[in-house]
């Protein structure tokens, strides 16, 4: 079974600085999708970014970008120019090509210091 590991329970960063959240996963499959979701205090899960495993190019969405290392099974999220509104719980998730379910990591709580 696939597993997703987020080794940083908590992270903090100064406003306007850059922070990287780590995520590793374990799978024997070659085709899959990876996601980062954000859960702010409102508890609404918001899609931040998605990556298809067959694409070598790292996905980017404005200030959010990923470093996808397929061989190392690593999928880190970089947040540039951190803003107070970025404070949230961030979940890394994995989905097999042929499956419907998401496998979530334990989450990383990100605090933004003004």
Partner 1 sequence: GAVVSQHPSRVICKSGTSVKIECRSLDFQATTMFWYRQFPKQSLMLMATSNEGSKATYEQGVEKDKFLINHASLTLSTLTVTSAHPEDSSFYICSASGGTRTRGDTQYFGPGTRLTVL
Compute φ and ψ for 43, nearest 5 degrees. 75, 10
Binding mask 7-36 for partner 1 (x = CB under 8 A): --------------------------x-x-
Is the Cβ of residue 16 or residue 99 nearer to partner 1 in the bound state? 99
Binders of partner 1 in range 51-90 (CB under 8 A)? none
Is the Cβ of residue 13 or residue 45 nearer to partner 1 in the bound state? 45
Is 37 a residue that touches partner 1 (CB under 8 A)?
Answer: yes
**Under 8 Å CB-to-CB from 99, ≥6 apart: which residues?**
none
Tell me the β-bridge partners of 95: 33
Residue 93 burial (CB < 10 Å; 0-12/13-18/19+)? Answer: buried
In the complex, the residues that contact partner 1 under the rule CB under 8 A are 33, 35, 37, 42-47, 50, 91, 95, 100-102, 104-107
């Amino acid at each position: 079974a696939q597993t997703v590991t987020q080794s940083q329970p908590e992270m903090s960063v100064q406003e306007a600085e850059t922070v990287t959240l780590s995520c590793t996963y374990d799978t024997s499959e070659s085709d899959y999708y990876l996601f980062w979701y954000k859960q702010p205090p409102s508890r609404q899960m918001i899609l931040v970014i998605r990556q298809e495993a067959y694409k070598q190019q790292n996905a980017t969405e404005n200030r959010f970008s990923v470093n996808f290392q397929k061989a190392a099974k690593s999928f880190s999220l970089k947040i540039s120019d951190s803003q107070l509104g970025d404070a949230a719980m961030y979940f890394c998730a994995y989905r097999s090509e042929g499956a419907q379910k998401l496998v979530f990591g334990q989450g990383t709580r990100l605090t933004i210091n003004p």
